[in-house]
A and B are shown apart, each in its own frame.
Chain A
Amino acid sequence: MADGSASVEELLQPFFRKIQLRDVLGAEEQRAIAAAADQRVDFAAGDDLVSEGDRPRRSMLVTTGFTCRYRMVNAGERQLTAVHLPGDFVDLHSFLLKEMDHSVGALTQCSIVTFPHERLVKVTERFPHLTRLLWLLTLLDGAIHREWLVGMGRLSAPQRTAHLVCETYRRLEAIGLASGNRFNFPITQAALADAVGISTVHINRVLQELRQLQLIVWDGGIMEIPSWPALAKAAEFDDRYLHLVQEPR
Chain B
Amino acid sequence: MPRYFFDVQDGEGVFVDDIGLELSGMDAAIREARRALADMVRDVLRDESAREVLIRIRDGAEGPVVLSVTLTTELPEQG
Q: Which residues of A contact B (CB under 8 A)?
A: 156-158, 189, 198-202, 204-205, 208-209, 212
- A-B CB contact pairs (8 Å), 21 listed: A157-B43, A189-B19, A198-B36, A198-B39, A199-B32, A199-B35, A199-B36, A200-B21, A201-B6, A201-B35, A201-B55, A202-B36, A202-B40, A204-B8, A205-B8, A205-B10, A205-B15, A205-B40, A208-B15, A209-B12, A209-B15
Q: How far is the CB of B33 from chain A (nearest CB, A)?
A: 7
Q: Give complex CA distance A199, B21 in Å.
A: 11
Contacts of B23-79 to chain A: CB distance below 8 A: 32-33, 35-36, 39-40, 42-43, 46, 55
Known A-B contacts A201-B8, A201-B32; the reply to A158 vs B43 at CB < 8 A is: yes
Q: Which residues of B contact A (CB under 8 A)?
A: 6, 8, 10, 12-13, 15, 17, 19, 21, 32-33, 35-36, 39-40, 42-43, 46, 55
User: Interface majority SS on A: helix, strand, loop or mixed?
Assistant: helix
**A80: min CB distance to chain B, Å:** 15
Q: Which 3 A-B pairs have the closest CB atoms?
A: A201-B36, A205-B15, A201-B6
A212 to B14, CA, bound (A): 12
Partner of A204, one of B10, B19, B35: B19
Cα-based distance from A212 to B39 in the complex (angstroms): 21
CB-CB under 8 A from B8, the residues of chain A are 201-202, 204-205
A100 nearest CB across to chain B (Å): 28
| Contact residue among A157, A158, A201 (Cβ-Cβ distance under 8 Å from B21) | A201
Q: Give the residues in chain A near B36, CB-CB below 8 Å.
A: 198-199, 201-202
With A and B bound together, what is the CA distance between A245 and B9 in angstroms?
A: 44
Least CB distance, A186 to chain B, in whole angstroms: 16
CB contacts (< 8 Å) of B42 on chain A: these are 156-157
**A200 and B12 alpha carbons, distance in the complex (Å):** 19
- Compute how far the CA of A219 lies from the CA of B25 in the bound complex, rounded to whole angstroms: 30
Specify which chain A residues have a CB less than 8 angstroms from the CB of B39 in the assembled complex.
157, 198-199, 202
CA distance A157 to B12 in the complex (A): 14
- Closest B residue to A209 using CB positions: B12
- Chain A residue numbers with a CB within 8 Å of B15 are 204-205, 208-209
In the complex, residue of chain A having the shortest beta-carbon distance to the beta carbon of B53: A205
**What is the bound-complex CA distance between A201 and B39, given in angstroms?**
10
Q: Do B33 and A201 have beta carbons less than 8 Å apart? A: yes
B17/A201 in contact, CB under 8 A: yes
Is A156's CB under 8 angstroms from B35's CB? Answer: no
Contacts of A198 in B (CB 8 A): 36, 39
Q: Which residues of A contact B43 (CB under 8 A)?
A: 156-158
Give 18 A-B pairs besides A200-B32, A201-B6, A208-B15 with Cβ atoms closer than 8 angstroms: A156-B43, A157-B39, A157-B42, A158-B43, A198-B36, A199-B39, A201-B8, A201-B17, A201-B21, A202-B36, A202-B40, A204-B6, A204-B8, A204-B15, A205-B15, A205-B40, A209-B12, A209-B15
With a cutoff of 8 Å between Cβ atoms, the chain B residues found around residue A199 in the complex are 32, 35-36, 39
